[in-house]
């Protein structure tokens, strides 16, 4: 059984900083850490208080993205229906031609 590695708070912060610069996946592989450990460290050590303005901006951006997503889903659904209708028309035309 292997012993558990212990990291100091400074080491954890250094790894978090590295991950932001180099990329999370690369740093996790380099230090042989799981993402769950990384996420827990990040939650514990990086305390960011969102300002009311940034929260409001993020919320309005999320609303805009949700609206855009719904619009795109409707477009895709309409195109899928149209494609299905054309396929049915082609099948009918082919069956008439084969007679």
- Summarize pLDDT for 49-63 with one digit per residue, the tens: 666 777 788 888 999
As a whole number of angstroms, the distance between CA 53 and CA 30 comes to 37
**3 φ/ψ angles, rounded to the nearest 5 degrees:** -80, 150
Could you tell me the pLDDT band of residue 98, with boundaries at 50, 70 and 90? confident
pTM of the model: 0.45
Could you tell me the pLDDT band of residue 48, with boundaries at 50, 70 and 90? low
More reliable by pLDDT, 71 or 57 = 71
The answer to whether 7 and 16 have CB atoms below 8 angstroms apart is no
pLDDT in the model for residue 54: 76
Hey, what's the torsion of the CAs at 21, 27, 33, 34, to 10 degrees? 70
As a whole number of angstroms, the distance between CA 37 and CA 43 comes to 10
Could you tell me the pLDDT band of residue 29, with boundaries at 50, 70 and 90? very high
pLDDT in the model for residue 2: 62
As a whole number of angstroms, the distance between CA 39 and CA 16 comes to 9
């Amino acid at each position: 059984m292997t012993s558990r590695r212990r990291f100091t708070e400074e080491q954890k912060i250094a790894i978090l900083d590295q991950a932001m610069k180099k990329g999370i996946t690369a740093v996790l592989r380099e230090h042989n850490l799981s993402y769950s450990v990384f996420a827990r460290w990040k939650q514990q050590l990086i305390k960011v208080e969102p300002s009311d303005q940034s929260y409001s901006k993020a919320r309005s951006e999320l609303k805009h993205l949700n609206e855009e997503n719904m619009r795109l889903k409707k477009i895709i659904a309409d195109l899928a229906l149209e494609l299905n209708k054309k396929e049915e028309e082609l099948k009918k035309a082919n069956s008439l031609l084969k007679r």
